[in-house]
Amino acid sequence: MFERTQIGKARESLDESLTIAGWVKRTRVLRNISFVILRDVSGEIQVTVKDDEMRKAVEDLGREDVIKVTGRTVSSEVANTGVEFIPDSIEVVNKAKQPLPFDLFGQVKTELDTRLNYRFMDFRTEHTSSIFKIQNVLLTAFRGFLTDRGYMEFQPPCVIASASEGGADLFMLPYFEKQAYLAQSPQLYKQMCAISFEKVYTITPIWRAEKFNTPTHLNEVRQMDIEQAFADDETVMKVLEEILVHMLVTVKEKCPNELEILGREIVVPELPFRHVTYTESIEMLQDAGEEIAWGDDFSKPQERKLTELVGKEAFFIKDWPSVQKAFYAMPYEENPDVVHAFDCIYSGIEISSGTMRIHLPELLREQLRKKGLNPDNFTHYIESFAYGAPPHAGWSIGLERLTMTVTGMTNIRECSMFPRDRDRLVP
């Protein structure tokens, strides 16, 4: 490949001969002069063409053609951005078919569905690229924070033999002469890792075969999970609030342009987050006139109402009724109807939930029976804790949902590069 300077850098390197390359954003052909707005991932620059032969080449350029231009950047009083690129040669690398499937930079707004059909081009728009640049910073901040604190990244299997936590429906797939499923959670695997490696995390896809059709659900999402030994729910809640603030601060620091493009102002919640118990939450809602009883889950409007009542950007709801949480959630000794479980609400949406897990085989069997499940079907799981399992806890953040709240998107499909929903399997 040819030597190339990124446009962002080329803009600052005045009067040096260099080669830039990228996509033609638009051309403006006048009587005696032509302009090409050239874009790459780092930015844009105006290429000003006066030479007749090169002007002929510019006339043939279309939007999104890929070209290579050798020349130099000069400061300019006429050009709006203060610099322009004077070419010595222009070479077409690859033409784009015209007309384009949608207006990338026009004033005509394209619907999400259309943009998703042409996602490869949608990535070139400021709007969409900002979302994924921010998502990337969230991911690297997450990894960086945990790596610095001695957590080990692990990779759980995505094809599993049976349901890991019940609840959601699983996608089935044939596995030679057996029946297998796509994992709905890395739950059992992270526990198995934590009881040996102590502090672990993973970023992994999970699948739910529910036929939901909402702006906040997808059938395939990415989870950011941690699991930690010698820890209870309070220990990992502290990790969660710290990592969340760290991720938000990092995005604020590294993505000011992207946030501005999206018109987003990040409010970093104060540490420590407020802890509200489930029981207190129910009382608050009841006092506000909501029809809800102890043991019920919060409806969507109730979750929003609660956020209003608590009045915090982020907070925890903890100590949930056993009936609302998975069988592996550790019950309180003095009140087994309540478990060491929590949800983290940020910006009015549940972005994370976690529990202290049961590490005692006999207690696990008892909880399974209470939930109407047969412990014999969970032998492998229960056995993992029979040979010296320390107490442990963990949580999980939905990557797309977190990206939604950070970028201010109202449809989760905006925050998945290639979303999988009830109907969409391509691209």
Partner RNA sequence: GCCCUGGUAGUAUAGUCAGGCCCAGUAUGCUCGGCUGUCACCCGAGCGAUCCCGGGUUCGAAUCCCGGCCAGGGCGCCA
Binding mask 296-315 for RNA (x = CB under 7 A): -x-xxx--------------
Interaction of residue 268 with RNA, rule CB under 7 A: no
d(CA 89, CA 51): 10
Report the 10 Å Cβ neighbour count for 129: 15
Nearer residue to RNA within complex by CB, 35 or 132: 35
Among positions 202-261, residues that touch RNA (CB under 7 A) are: 208, 210-215, 217-219, 221
CB of 321 to RNA, least distance (A): 14
Among 1, 2, 12, 108, binds RNA (CB under 7 A): 108
DSSP letters, 335-381, are: -TTEEEEEEEEETTEEEEEEEEBP--HHHHHHHHHHTT--GGGGHHH
Report the 10 Å Cβ neighbour count for 235: 16
Angle subtended at Cα 281 by Cα 280 and Cα 283, rounded to the nearest 5 degrees:
65
d(CA 258, CA 403): 13
CB of 46 to RNA, least distance (A): 6
Nearer residue to RNA within complex by CB, 38 or 389: 38
Among 43, 62, 336, 408, binds RNA (CB under 7 A): 62
Among 99, 150, 289, 372, binds RNA (CB under 7 A): 99
CB of 334 to RNA, least distance (A): 26
CA distances in angstroms from 361 to 2, 21, 303, 324, 384, listed in the order given: 62, 62, 34, 21, 9
Report the 10 Å Cβ neighbour count for 337: 12
Among 14, 29, 249, 267, binds RNA (CB under 7 A): 29
Interaction of residue 80 with RNA, rule CB under 7 A: yes
Among 9, 109, 371, 380, binds RNA (CB under 7 A): 109
User: Of 203, 195, 204, which is closest to residue 228 (Cα–Cα)?
Assistant: 195
CB of 140 to RNA, least distance (A): 21
**Selected range binding RNA among 74-82, 122-130, 147-155, 273-281, rule: CB under 7 A:** 74-82
For residues 285, 290, 294, 298, the Cα torsion angle rounded to the nearest 10 degrees is -80
Edge-to-edge strands, sheet with 274-277:
152-153, 199-207, 220-229, 392-398, 349-356, 338-346, 314-321, 274-277
CA 244, 245, 249, 252 torsion-angle sign: positive
* Cβ contacts of 158-162, under 8 Å, gap ≥ 24: 158/182, 158/183, 158/204, 158/205, 159/183, 162/377
**Selected range binding RNA among 196-204, 293-301, 357-365, 377-385, rule: CB under 7 A:** 293-301
| Cβ–Cβ under 8 Å, residues 252 and 260 | no
**Selected range binding RNA among 106-114, 124-132, 333-341, 380-388, rule: CB under 7 A:** 106-114
Interaction of residue 426 with RNA, rule CB under 7 A: no
Residue 157's Cβ-side half-sphere holds a number of Cα atoms within 13 Å equal to 11
Binding mask 117-146 for RNA (x = CB under 7 A): ------------------------------
**Selected range binding RNA among 9-17, 104-112, 281-289, 308-316, rule: CB under 7 A:** 104-112
CB of 3 to RNA, least distance (A): 26
Interaction of residue 318 with RNA, rule CB under 7 A: no
Among positions 322-351, residues that touch RNA (CB under 7 A) are: 350
Site residues (CB under 7 A) for RNA? 26, 28-33, 35, 37, 46, 48, 50, 62-63, 76, 78-81, 84, 98-103, 106-114, 165, 167-168, 208, 210-215, 217-219, 221, 297, 299-301, 350, 353, 398, 400-401, 410-411, 413, 421-424
